[in-house]
Structure 1
Amino acid sequence: MSFVIVGYGRVGARTAQILETDGYNVVVVDNDPDKITHADNAGFDVIEGDGSDASVLKQAGIDEAVALGGLTDDPTVNFAACLTGKQHGCRVVMRISEDINSNVYEQYESDVDDVIDPERLGAAGAKTALLGGNFNVLDELTEGLSLTSLSVPVDAPIIDQTVNEIELGDHGRIYAHGRANEPMTIPLPATIIKSGDRLALVVEQNNLIEVRRTLMGDN
């Protein structure tokens, strides 16, 4: 099973490493000489070039790949790579940024299979999305980190706050949100929390109680 990873920055490199560790074949695409060197030294097949260029992705084996991750820090490159991947029958996952506006987000979400926000879940989320799974299949990301979910009670202190306003420090991050009886997706920073909403978080295991108290009060 082959994957094409466009962008060998922090998220792309970690995603490639996780996939390789799990036994998958990974081809990296990047146009930065330093990143190319790092990927090559890590033992990956590397194609030097612009990930938004269909001919470069062809060299990377897009015809045989089952999935492509557009994981650079440039959404335009990521989106172009994903569109090419879709044309070749790949599952495509696109990295977005936290400051993306809602209209652009909706366009991206409708045209790709999954979007990930590296500030919320990063490489583990990218790997899960590339494999076509859902967030619930991961019960532990790495040593010391766990996924948890909760429903927001009527008297929770975070009601009417935006996702950006919820302060968890370094103890955890909200990576998915859904209204009652609706699927969970990556929330926009301006998403307002309401009673009955569901939240999914990645949390340091030794701070689960503190994070829960921050979100739910004494419930």
Structure 2
Amino acid sequence: MRFVIIGAGRVGLRTARVLREEGHEVTVIERDERKADRARDQGFTVVVGDGSREALLEEAGISEADALGALTGDLNVNFTACMIGDHYGARTIMRIDEAYREGIYRKYADEVDEVIYPERLGAIGAKNALLGGTIRAIADIAQNLQIVELTITNGAPVNGYTISELQLPADATVLAFGKRGQPLEIPNEDLSLEDGDRLVVLADFEVLSDVRQLLVGENPDLAAANAGAGGVN
């Protein structure tokens, strides 16, 4: 596949490297000469200039690109570039840096396929390290929804239950299940929940505390504290 990445900063250049390592063709647009030189030194095709200009995007090959990643720290550049990319039929990904702006852009930028917030993704990783091995946040879906992976412990109230016997709060749903040491798969209602098994759950933040108590066996105070830290906003 062919990609155009706007911005050769920390986020953009790292994304470009990952895509190239997977065998994709990547062109980088960067207006800062120093950053552009760094990208060239790493073997990327670089177009120097403002990524929100259509002529520059055409020079970078937007008409043949499968997707455009507008990953600069400038929201106006990212938004404009995505509008142009959409016009050329490319999938568009726009970076934002301030969480409160996400709702605004999601509401008014239907042409943007995906909005990403790198600081949120980094915070999820930090939170996982803090929570330890039995609870892992996978993604924040919305202001009130999170996907988490929880590992059943010996102290969990549901240890020994089957999937069909598991009764989660109304605002929580099991998405996947994996026996200890095995890949995640669609839940089988007859499988039992045992120490080391994993459940992937979509849950409202309001019920995360209850979900943690059931599946991990946390005491109510700790579960409530962890659930309160659940949203990365």
Answer yes or no: same fold by TM over 0.5: yes
Identity of aligned residues (%): 42
Equivalent position SS for 1:63: helix
Residues in 2 aligned to 1:118 and 1:102: alpha-carbon distance in whole angstroms: 12
- The question of 1:27 aligning with 2:20 is answered no
1:14 counterpart residue number: 14
1:154 counterpart residue number: none
Report how far residue 49 of structure 1 moved.
1.2
2:67 counterpart residue number: 67
Judge conservation of contact 2:73–2:95 (CA < 8 Å) in 1.
Answer: yes
Report how far residue 99 of structure 1 moved.
4.6
Equivalent position SS for 1:93: strand
Report how far residue 71 of structure 1 moved.
0.2
Unmatched runs of 5 consecutive residues or more in structure 2: 123-132, 146-170, 174-203, 210-217, 229-233
2:206 counterpart residue number: 195
Report how far residue 62 of structure 1 moved.
0.3
Report how far residue 107 of structure 1 moved.
3.4
Distance 1:38 1:108, change over 3 A: farther
The aligned amino acid for 2:5 is: I
Equivalent position SS for 1:215: helix
Equivalent position SS for 1:34: helix
* Bigger relative contact order (CA 8 A; separation at least 6): 1
Unmatched runs of 5 consecutive residues or more in structure 1: 123-144, 151-173, 183-192, 199-208
Report how far residue 196 of structure 1 moved.
3.7
- CA-atom RMSD in angstroms: 3.2
The higher radius of gyration belongs to: 2
Judge conservation of contact 2:40–2:46 (CA < 8 Å) in 1.
Answer: yes
1:54 counterpart residue number: 54
The aligned amino acid for 1:6 is: I
Distance 1:196 1:216, change over 3 A: closer
Equivalent position SS for 2:26: strand
Judge conservation of contact 1:70–1:94 (CA < 8 Å) in 2.
Answer: yes
Residues in 2 aligned to 1:117 and 1:108: alpha-carbon distance in whole angstroms: 17
Report how far residue 197 of structure 1 moved.
6.5
1:81-124 CA deviation, whole Å, 9 max, x = no partner?
101100000000000012543652333553300000010226xx
1:154-177 CA deviation, whole Å, 9 max, x = no partner?
xxxxxxxxxxxxxxxxxxxx6444
1:77 counterpart residue number: 77
1:101 counterpart residue number: 101
2:91 counterpart residue number: 91
Residues in 1 aligned to 2:82 and 2:70: alpha-carbon distance in whole angstroms: 6
Residues in 2 aligned to 1:149 and 1:12: alpha-carbon distance in whole angstroms: 24
The aligned amino acid for 1:26 is: V
